[in-house]
């Protein structure tokens, strides 16, 4: 199977941008659906990239985006919904995937690749987030019009991520860090490794009809990740692991804070470790080999401020 033209949903996001660059480097034409093309002019400088304006949930728009494409990649996802009943997750993860599959089939797309989440394929997912991802996977694997592949990554890190950078921002303003589910385990995976697998799988028959877990080479608790983030960013902050009752209370409050730094659904997702137990593909990049490059400057500035105040490290 030769792939010359790929259409992306979620192509302007964190992972999507890395995939776009890799596709363009291979000379593959890339069409990206976005509500605001003017905000992504940096992508337009690549001659292989076309930005299309439209509503991701509109079937007609999806038909236009997939027209003439050899492959479709769906990366669209959210970590929190506006409400708390799961309907927001179902709309973005499940219903959009079903619409994308229908549009891809109607336009003669020959390949479909889906971004899912680690543990979405477990027997009884504990959160709305994971259940909606599971329902989306079910729809993808039921497709008969084209070969499909699903990727289930652990938490993804890299420059511009919403995981390490979020904790770095919280550590910057908080004198200490109260941490719900501090013993939850993760195998953070580098965004570059994830992007490589999405691109490499397109023409690889060995990946057809399969779901792959993507994990980095080392497992950490959430507390270890936050302590490491504090150290690299140059901030000395006590990390306070909360008991379950306190974590639930924290989530009940934080899910009403703008940006939802923590919700009860997030907490439910954290009840299962985000580590690989199924069929995996290699993701060799260590957290420690990348994070200092994008947090190190902030850490240097914080250390200089302490030294100016007469403190010693």
Tens digit of each residue's pLDDT (9 = 90 or more) over 250-293: 999 999 888 788 999 999 999 999 999 999 999 999 999 999 99
Residue spans per domain, the chain: 5-154+190-214
Q: Which of 41-45, 118-122, 152-156, 157-161 has the lowest mean pLDDT?
A: 41-45
Closest CA to 42 of 33, 54, 51, 29: 51
pLDDT band at 297 (very low <50, low <70, confident <90, very high): low
The CATH superfamily assigned to 5-154+190-214 is: NAD(P)-binding Rossmann-like Domain (3.40.50.720)
185 token code pair = 């385990």
**Residue range 199-240, pLDDT digits in tens:** 999 999 999 999 999 999 999 999 999 999 999 999 889 999
Residue 18's φ and ψ, nearest 5 degrees, are -65, -40
- Looking at residue 300, its pLDDT comes to 47
What is the share, in percent, of the chain residues with pLDDT greater than 90?
Answer: 84
- Looking at residue 259, its pLDDT comes to 79
Q: Which of 78-87, 100-109, 203-212, 243-252 has the lowest mean pLDDT?
A: 78-87
- Looking at residue 10, its pLDDT comes to 96
Closest CA to 289 of 194, 151, 191, 182: 191
- Looking at residue 121, its pLDDT comes to 95
- Whether the CA torsion 177, 178, 184, 190 is positive or negative: it is negative
pLDDT band at 304 (very low <50, low <70, confident <90, very high): very low
Inter-CA distances, 156 with 165, 186, 192, Å: 11, 10, 9
- Looking at residue 84, its pLDDT comes to 86
Mean pLDDT of the chain: 93
pLDDT band at 298 (very low <50, low <70, confident <90, very high): low
**Residue range 170-182, pLDDT digits in tens:** 998 889 999 999 9
DSSP string, 141-166: HH--SS-EEEEEES-EESTT-SSHHH
DSSP bridge pairs for 176: none
pLDDT of residue 299 exceeding 70, the answer is no
46-52 contact pairs (CB < 8 A, 24+): 46/20, 46/21, 48/23, 48/24, 49/20, 49/24
pTM: 0.93
pLDDT of residue 312 exceeding 70, the answer is no
**Residue range 8-61, pLDDT digits in tens:** 999 999 999 999 999 999 999 999 999 998 888 889 889 999 999 999 999 999
Inter-CA distances, 13 with 154, 161, 174, Å: 17, 10, 28
């Amino acid at each position: 199977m030769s792939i010359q033209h790929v259409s992306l949903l979620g192509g302007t996001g964190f992972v999507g941008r890395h995939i776009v660059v890799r596709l363009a480097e291979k000379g593959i034409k890339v069409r990206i659906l976005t509500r605001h093309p003017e905000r992504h002019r940096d992508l337009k400088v690549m001659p292989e990239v076309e930005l299309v304006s439209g509503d991701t949930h509109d079937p007609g728009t999806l038909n236009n985006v997939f027209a003439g494409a050899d492959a479709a990649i769906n990366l669209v996802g959210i970590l929190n919904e506006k409400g708390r009943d799961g309907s927001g997750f179902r709309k973005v993860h499940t219903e959009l995937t079903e619409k994308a599959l229908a549009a891809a089939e109607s336009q003669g797309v020959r390949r479909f690749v889906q971004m899912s989440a680690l543990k979405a394929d477990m027997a009884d997912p504990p959160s709305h987030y994971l259940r909606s991802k599971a329902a989306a996977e079910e729809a993808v694997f039921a497709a008969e019009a084209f070969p499909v592949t699903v990727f289930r990554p652990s938490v993804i890190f890299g420059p511009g991520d919403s995981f390490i950078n979020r904790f770095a921002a919280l550590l910057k303003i908080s004198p200490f860090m109260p941490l719900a589910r501090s013993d939850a385990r993760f195998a953070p995976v580098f965004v570059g490794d994830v992007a490589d697998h999405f691109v490499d799988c397109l023409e690889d028959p060995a990946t057809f009809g399969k779901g792959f877990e993507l994990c980095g080479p080392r497992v950490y608790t959430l507390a270890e990740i936050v302590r490491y983030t504090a150290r690299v960013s140059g901030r000395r902050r006590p990390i306070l692991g909360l008991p379950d009752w306190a974590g639930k209370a924290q989530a009940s409050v934080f899910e009403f804070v703008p940006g939802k730094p923590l919700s009860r659904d997030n907490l439910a997702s954290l009840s299962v470790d985000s580590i690989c137990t199924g069929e995996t593909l290699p993701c060799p990049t260590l957290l420690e080999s990348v994070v200092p490059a994008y947090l190190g400057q902030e850490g240097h500035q914080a250390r200089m401020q302490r030294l100016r105040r007469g403190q010693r490290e």
